[in-house]
Amino acid sequence: MNAATSDVTAAIRGAVESFVTEVVRADKEVARALEAKGRIQLLVNSSFLYREKSFVKTRQSSKRLVAIVSGDAHHPHVDDVQVVDGMDMKKHYSILATPPGTQVATLSDSASAALRSVGDIIFVLIGTMRGIRRVEQPLEAQSVCTLRLDPSLANEFELVAGACAIKRVLPIEDLLDKVRAELGCGASLPEDDCRAIAKAYNTLLDEAVTEVVIPMGREVDTNDTVLGRIVAALREQTREYKSALKVHEERPEDRQALHEVLRIAYNFSTDALQIVSLFVSMCDLKPLLFWSTVDKQWALHRAFASLPWSALGRKEKVEEYRDIISAARNQAFHHVLPFDTTVEVDLSNVDVRAERMRLFAPYGEKQERGVRLKDQDLADVFAQFSRAKQRPVSTAFWRANLWVMEATMELADRMLDTLLLIHRWRPY
Same domain, 114 and 77: yes
Cβ pair 418, 4 in contact under 8 A: no
Q: What is the pLDDT of residue 239?
A: 97
Same domain, 251 and 309: yes
The verdict on residue 128 lying in a domain is no
Same domain, 405 and 310: yes
The verdict on residue 61 lying in a domain is yes
Same domain, 251 and 296: yes
Same domain, 189 and 77: no
Q: Which residue type sits at 54?
A: S
Angle at 3 (CA atoms; ends 410, 219), nearest 5 degrees? 55
Cβ pair 7, 425 in contact under 8 A: yes
The verdict on residue 129 lying in a domain is no
**In terms of Cα–Cα distance, which of 370, 297, 412, 427 is closest to 19?**
297
The verdict on residue 69 lying in a domain is yes
Q: What is the pLDDT of residue 105?
A: 92
Segments forming the whole domain that contains residue 116? 3-120
Q: What is the pLDDT of residue 9?
A: 93
Q: Which residues pair with 131 in a beta bridge?
A: 211
Cβ pair 226, 419 in contact under 8 A: no
Q: What is the pLDDT of residue 289?
A: 97
Q: What is the pLDDT of residue 218?
A: 65
Same domain, 109 and 65: yes
The verdict on residue 358 lying in a domain is yes
CA-to-CA distance for 409 and 231, rounded, in angstroms?
Answer: 6
Look at residues 59, 90, 120 and tell me which one is the last residue of a structural domain: 120
Residues of the chain with pLDDT under 70: 1, 101, 185-187, 218, 310-311, 313, 331-340, 386-392, 427-428
Same domain, 183 and 244: no
Same domain, 152 and 46: no
Same domain, 17 and 83: yes
In order of 171, 179, 185, 209, the CA distances from 155 in angstroms are 17, 14, 21, 21
Same domain, 91 and 183: no
In order of 266, 299, 324, 362, the CA distances from 397 in angstroms are 13, 17, 10, 52
Q: What is the pLDDT of residue 150?
A: 94
- Please state the separation of Cα 85 from the chain's center in Å: 30
Q: What is the pLDDT of residue 127?
A: 92
Q: What is the pLDDT of residue 140?
A: 87
Same domain, 264 and 403: yes
Q: Is 373 left (phi over 0), alpha (psi -120 to 50) or beta?
A: beta
Which pTM was predicted?
0.84
The verdict on residue 30 lying in a domain is yes
Same domain, 328 and 415: yes
